[in-house]
A and B are shown apart, each in its own frame.
Chain A
């Protein structure tokens, strides 16, 4: 056996493999979600620009951070969940299961790849959007923190979905019936102050709301709630989901049964 064995080289390799996997099909994994987000932008800004102001900025400037975050979250989820379900259905996950990679390393490799996919998609939408729209960037630090935590949260959620699901349509159900409604109803397209009191309360139970509100705060400098509250809730959700994912991976649930 070759002598140089670094304990983290396996995890690093798995991360590189996950990265290359989505990069090979970047037309589908990056270009397609960017296209979708830009279509939303085009339609909504055409309809509402000039008529509505939210938090003291134009409607388009209000909506773009929400759109970026929504795409970032959906793609982080899609990356880890689709990679896992694909290699489970194809059967090639066994090649990772046979290796000395620990469950923590497995988690971190999939998580890091999901975060990176989210950041790539989000960055491309941002870069394209600022060509057409004058978008403020008040607190870049908040933007980065919420981008990382949000994509990490959804990346971990994607790992859980990938472990649990046995078929592609179960992942699609997750996307269509959990991720999509939660992201659409979280204040991407509107300020929750425009909602009736009851629905405002309901929105406060949606973790996506805090991710989007905190992220948007970084751009426009104001939000529906304090960014610190959002940070606390998003961080707590991230740690709970990560802990749950690690528990599942450690037990070998559905992977080493």
Chain B
């Protein structure tokens, strides 16, 4: 099957800055994919190249088999992008704007049913006739998502869609996006909220300084840290015998890596023998953030 996204040896220079350094990435149709990385890693640049908002210095990108430069019209019809910034057209109301947006893609009246479905699914029905200017930040964000979906694209890119968004909208939005994914749409997500990527995405790419430093299924990445973490606040310093387990220092707390839960016994025993007493103890599961911090910090 044609991949939803194929990126081959893509380089992007901005003057002296080498923003993307030979990125290769293939995303299959129907995937729920996360693109993670610290600020300035090149995520947004990669999305701009996919959307044709910028051109790569070298390399090729395609959406649903259509080259984003040579077959740009088909590539753009196949792609819906939710931009990061809250941008909007102040002259129109929500429904008008969505119909115009679908119209730009060549879709007329017959698409209005879909536009209304998107409006309803994102909880915008009450605001359909409200001018974009008068919407609250959260409602603008919903309208922005709706706008990317107006032409029912098979591939949907969400660039930080939940930045500054309340819990209710997150739930409405993810429910709808998950439904679209079940119906066969490919979803690509960039986010700072790693727990979202962990819950939603089956595969993850981590980008750092313009390079992909990890590309694997979420499960495999989490398996890199099979154990748990023990977060301790001590009256005294960490005994020498426990130093090999030390993961990091977080203020007054020390964080230890545990291979297995039963290791807690050993830790407590060592502490007692060293005469160090406990003020606080937390047992924490490893998550994508650990993988992220580990990879981004290390490579």
Contact = CB atoms under 8 A, between A and B. Distances in A.
Contact of B85 (A91, A101, A252): A91
B87 A4 contact: no
A120 interface: no
B77 A87 contact: no
A100 B105 contact: yes
A17 B93 CA distance: 12
B253 interface: no
Given A100-B73, A256-B52, A256-B55, A94 B106 contact: no
Nearest to A100: B73
Interface string B131-152: 0000000000000000100011
A95 B73 contact: no
A34 B174 CA distance: 51
The range of chain B's interface size is 35 or more
Contacts of A221: none
Given A1-B77, A2-B110, A102-B73, A95 B105 contact: no
The range of chain A's interface size is 20 to 34
A194 B295 CA distance: 80
A92 B103 contact: no
A16 B99 CA distance: 12
B53 A98 contact: yes
Nearest to B87: A91
A235 B110 CA distance: 41
B54 A90 contact: no
Contacts of B147: 95
B107 A96 contact: no
A10 B54 contact: no
Interface string B96-134: 000011011111101100100000000000000000000
Residue of A10, A87, A95 with highest tally of chain B CB at under 10 A: A95
Nearest to A7: B106
7 contacts: A1-B154, A2-B107, A5-B106, A13-B103, A92-B89, A94-B83, A256-B55
